[in-house]
Each structure stands twice: as C-alpha cells, then as structure tokens.
Structure 1
Amino acid sequence: MDLILPGLDPESDRPVFKQMADHLREAIEHGRLAPGAKVPSEATLMAHYGVARMTVRSALQLLQSEGLTVAEHGRGVFVRSRPPVRRLASDRFARRHRQRGKAAFIVETEESGGKPSVDSIRITEMDASADVAKRLGLTAQDKILVRSRRYLINGHPVETAVSYLPAAIASGTRIAEPDTGPGGIYARLEEMGYRLDHFDEEIKARMPLREEARALKLAPGTPVFHLIRTAFTEDGRAVEVCDTVMSSDAYVLAYQLPAR
C-alpha cells in the first residue's frame, strides 16, 4: 500500500485493533491520509498487520465512532471531509457587519475561506411556548413569528437555527419573508427602530438528537454546541430568541474578555 504504516508492537498491552486505529488516526491527524482520501482496504490492512478481518473492522469502526472516517457502501472507508472551521467570535454581531450589509454567518464564513449558504427556510406564526414567552417578556396568549433555517459551508451543513420574535414586531415585515435582505434579521430590526444594545448567550455541549444528527449529517460520536441567544434593545426589551445547534467540529469558540 502507498501509505506507510508501522507494524504492531507485540510487547504492548494495548489491544491489536486499538494499535491499528492509533496508526491510522496518526496518519489522518498528520495529513498523510487527507480529507476525502480512501483508507486502505480491509484486505490490505489484514495483509499488512497479519490479523483477521474482524480485527480490522474493529479498528475501522473505532475511527468511525470518533468521527474521523465515513463508510460508503460498496466503495470503502474514507477520511471524513470537514468544513472550514468558523470562529464563533464575541464580536460577530457587531453593528459594523450589519452596516456592510452582511449577517454574522456570512462574514465569519467568508473570513475562514468558506462559501456560506442557507436552506430549509421555514416561516410560521404560533403561540409562544412558556420558555420563549418568558425570555421575550410575553404572555402565553401572545403570538410569535418563527424562522427556521439551516446554514451550510461549501454545501456542508454546520448549523440549524430557529429565531423567535414577537409577531407584533415581525409579522408583515421583511423578517417574515424568506430573504430578510442585507444584514439579516438584526439589520431589519434596527431599521424599524429597535436599536440593539447587547446579546445574552447560553452555550452547552451535548450529543445530538436523531433529527439534529440527520440535518447536520453528523458522523457517529460527534457532539454539538447548543446555543440560545437573546437580543436586547437599548431600552432593555428582548426582541429575538435564537435557538441554535452547531456541529462541534465546524466551530471554534473564540472570545475576548475584559480583565477589568
């Protein structure tokens, strides 16, 4: 095989299949097996290591569970291609981006060298849930506008987001249309006189729900970031809650925090 892998260490107490996975993982992490490259076949690995097929499969399944490889029926196992990492920076919603006519996702994806796109846009109006009503300062009888969408980098899904806004503010405006225009939702809110002051965010890491893994095409074992953001105006009014689920291997959380 073209890829040079070390042999097994007979004196190691580490199981043989884990030694094999270690060798392949090291080749992936150091670029000798590049994203999209085909991993040596089962037969090739059996011959190189002198082991049974089930041992090889255990090693390959371990790499798949770590999200490093994907198996394609009838074709083999390939190193998983990953989207460019997008930095989730603390200033991503700064007004200067909206004034340039670009929403945060577009700005940061382009800065990372990726091509941003959005699909699966759905817009509905419904009663506010108890949690959303509390965050927006509404009553259970108040209606909300709900915008659901999925974000992609180079055609690969990395994030889903659902925004909840008071219907009294958003219904009948550009925010209720599939294309909200340059600068996105926040630019439209500020044009309507709701000048934004700050955003509160809550972030936690967890394993994805089945529908989230399907929407983001996550490899087994890949966790997600679950972020809930609330946008506040200068007079302290909450005007949007955004519930976001992000593939953890597509993001780096990067924040600048004052020391005084």
Structure 2
Amino acid sequence: MSVLPSGALGDLDPTSDRAVFRQIADQLREAIGRGRFREGEKLPSEAELVEHYGVSRMTVRNSFSILQGEGLVHAEHGKGVFVRPRPPVRRLASDRFARHHREQGRSAFLVEADAAGGRPAVDSLVVKEEKASPEVSARLGAVRRVLVRRRRYLLDGRPVEFAASYLPLDIARGTPIAEADPGPGGIYARLEELGHRLDHFDEEIRARMPSPDEVRTLRLAPGVPVIHLVRTAFDTDGRAVEVCDTVMAADAYVLAYQLPAT
C-alpha cells in the first residue's frame, strides 16, 4: 500500500498532450516547491509512484531524471531519491572583505562558514610560482610570472568551491603569502602588512555548466551549474595586487548584495 503523504500528489490528466512522465515530474516539482517534501527528505519510491499513478517503472525513472537534471533532487544508490538541500552559504559581497574581519584574523570563507553554522576546511592546497596566463597578466599589469595559490574549500566535508589566487612575484615571493599557511586573516591581511592597503575589488560573475574536471572536483550532481567569479584586488595606489579565479557549486551558495540607491 502506498504511504504517500495525503494530498502530496494529484492525478494525471489523460486529456493533456503533455507526456505522462513530464506530468509526474511537474507534480513532484510543485510538491517540493510547496514544502510537501522538505530539504533532505526522501521522495516516494518508484514502487509507490508506480502504484499511485498506474504507470511503469521506466516512466517514473524518466520523471526522476528530469528533476535530477534540474538539480532539484539527487539519487543515492540503494537508498532512493532525495530533495537537494538549498544553498547553505550566504555570500554577502558588501561585507566579506571588510577590514575588521582581517583584523580579527578571520578569512572571508571562515566568516561565511560560521554564519552558515558549518564546519569549514581547506584541502588540495598548492602554492608555486608559474608563468602568468595572458588574462591574468593583463589584469595584473603585464606581469610575466606569478605566485599562485590553489585550494579547495569544504563545508561539513562537502566541496563547495575551489579557487586560484595569482599575485605578482615582486610582492609575494619570500613572504608569508608563499607559505602554505599565510597566517591569521589570510593573504589580504599579509598584503596590507606589506604596505599594500586594499582599496577596492572588481568582480565579474557568470553562471555556466561545469567542465568534467569541475564536476569531479566539486562532486556535482547532474544538472548542477557553477558560478564562475573572477576578482581583482587593488591597493590604494591603484595597483592590481591579486587576481582570484573562483568556481563555486551553484547549489551551495546564495550571492547577497547591498547596493546604494543613490
């Protein structure tokens, strides 16, 4: 006997020209939107939906595939299909690089993870010198070589973003910035200690589908896009002192902004 929540799903419309598996996907999507199936909750099983709608298992699987492609649900082998949690990290652009965080020895990601109530971690750290790409060179003022810091960020053990910071060698070489652990407040605190007081940041943001490498690095489910952000940090002399290229799992973040009205 079906154990579907009462009223969670309706009936199929036999007069509709919309395919049956799409009708089922529509009803499941609507039920998720109404909160009948909450974040992390298991959806009705294939058997329950077969019984409820009087359709084949393949029809139900096609419905699940649509929702997975939209990033609304994810499947766990042998357990079922679950509603994907909504973004846990709120990235407040107007505050994340505030100087008072650096003075307290806290990096932007640590501040955001604390606000989300999660456990932050960094892995896959690589620090080395390399030739600057044409784009990075142009953003940093035609430098030829850079110090690059590559790392992946995790929240409660789940990868949520990875980033590469590029800094001119005449600034970063032989400083704590070139160490695996640059110290409290991160590389921005060290830049200011070296006399490069930060003035402003320019950011470019776009959404796109991930590459295969990005899918593996962030362990993305099918249908989940990424947010690609490139940030350039400038000091008070107008010099570009860092370019940070970041790729974020779109289902892990809310990008929040406060903009003046005048």
Normalised by the length of structure 2, the TM-score is: 0.91
| Distance across 2 between alignment mates of 1:80 and 1:254 | 21
When the two structures are superposed, what TM-score results if normalisation uses the length of structure 1? 0.92
**After TM superposition, which residue ranges in structure 1, 4 or more long, deviate above 6 angstroms?**
none
**Which of 12, 15, 24 is the equivalent residue of 1:11?**
15
Alignment of 1:73-112 (within 5 A): 73-82=77-86, 84-112=88-116
Matched letter for residue 178 of structure 2: A
**Which one is further off, 40-49 or 186-195?**
40-49
Superposed CA deviations along residues 26-48 of structure 1, whole A, max 9, x for unmatched, are 33333332333332222221111
- 1:202 Cα deviation (Å)? 0.9
Spell out the pairing of 1:4-153 with structure 2 (5 A cutoff): 4=5, 5-82=9-86, 84-140=88-144, 143-153=145-155
Q: Which of 192, 195, 198 is the matching residue for 1:193?
A: 195
C-alpha distance in structure 2 between counterparts of 1:99 and 1:206, whole Å: 35
| Per-residue deviation, residues 224-254 of structure 1 (Å, max 9, x unmatched) | 1111111111011111000011111222222
Using the aligned pairs only, state the percent identity.
66
Are residues 1:212 and 2:218 paired? no
What is the distance in 2 between the residues matched to 1:69 and 1:15? Answer: 20
Deviation sequence 1:82-117 (CA, Å, 0-9, x none) = 551323422311111111111111112211322222
8 Å contact 1:69–1:80 — kept in the other structure?
A: yes
2:133 & 2:252 partners in 1: Cα distance?
A: 30
Judging changes above 3 Å, is the alpha-carbon distance between structure 1 residues 82 and 155 closer, same or farther for their aligned structure 2 residues? Answer: farther
Structure 1 unmatched ranges of 5 or more: none
Q: CA RMSD in A?
A: 1.7
Q: How many angstroms apart in 2 are the aligned matches of 1:59 and 1:131?
A: 43
Deviation, 1:132, is: 1.1
Work out the CA distance in 1 between the residues paired with 2:232 and 2:136.
10
